[in-house]
Amino acid sequence: MNPSTIRLALASLLVLALGGADAARAATIQVTMKKDVVADDGRCSLREAVTAANTNRPSGRTPGECVAGDPHPVVDVIKLRRGGYVLKLGGAGDDLDLGGDLDIAESVRIEGRGFKTKVKNRIGKLNVVGDGDRVFHVDPQARGGVDAFLVNMTITRGDVGCTGDGCATGASAIEMNGPGQLTIERAAVVRNTAKCVGESCNDDRQGAAIRAVGAGRW
């Protein structure tokens, strides 16, 4: 083998090694409980998993908590079990994933186990018409560079609303604010509600189940 061939082979191996390292870096966060809680209790809820992916920090110090996500541009993977995940922590309007909808601030892939994996919002009624919040809010600060992949699940019972002249509800299931990519694979988006009460409320771009604004696309 001549020296040029050896250099080419070594370069190819280096590229493969670097590619494998990048793939291995992506964190896999396994959700281990269905309740909507935030607590250092040795278990990993869906909300805690999203926050761990957003902040690149574990959800607590106790063994069994959600592992830390990896920094942008790595796409972390959150894995769900079959069954229902009901969002019950109040806080419509919060953009830090502390309550209400699930706020996705860094690129993530959330994988269910089929249509029987249901993510739904049932927080108590607030000062709006409807239960108070959607299910997913992608890049709520519109910072850009946030891609979301929602795979193998049913997204249901998002319920937003507003009262007053000219009010606008936004999307009832999934809203994406920044310039990123929203990908929905093998998923059902059903029974989501956006209700507006008042004169000239909403417009043709409001009230949908899924909405991308700020150059976002899906």
Is 11 domain-assigned?
Answer: no
Q: Is residue 76 part of a domain?
A: yes
| 218 is a domain residue | no
Residue 40 belongs to a domain: yes
Whether residue 16 lies inside any domain: the answer is no
Domain count, the chain: 1
Give me the residues paired with residue 120 across strands: 86, 156
Note the pLDDT tens digit of each residue in 155-202: 998 988 888 887 878 899 999 999 999 999 999 999 888 888 877 776
What are 76's strand-pairing partners?
108
Determine the structural domain holding residue 141 and report its residue range: 27-212
Residue 22 maps to a domain: no
Residue 164 lies in a domain: yes
> For residue 97, what pLDDT band results from cuts at 50, 70 and 90?
very high
User: 36-47: per-residue pLDDT in tens?
Assistant: 999 999 999 999
pTM: 0.83
- Exposed e or buried b per residue across 67-101, where buried means at least 16 C-beta atoms within 10 angstroms of its C-beta: bbbbeeebbbbbebeeeebbbebbbbebeebebbb
Least confident window among 53-57, 102-106, 119-123, 154-158: 119-123
Virtual torsion, Cα 127, 128, 134, 138, nearest 10 deg: -80
Report if residue 56 sits inside a domain: yes
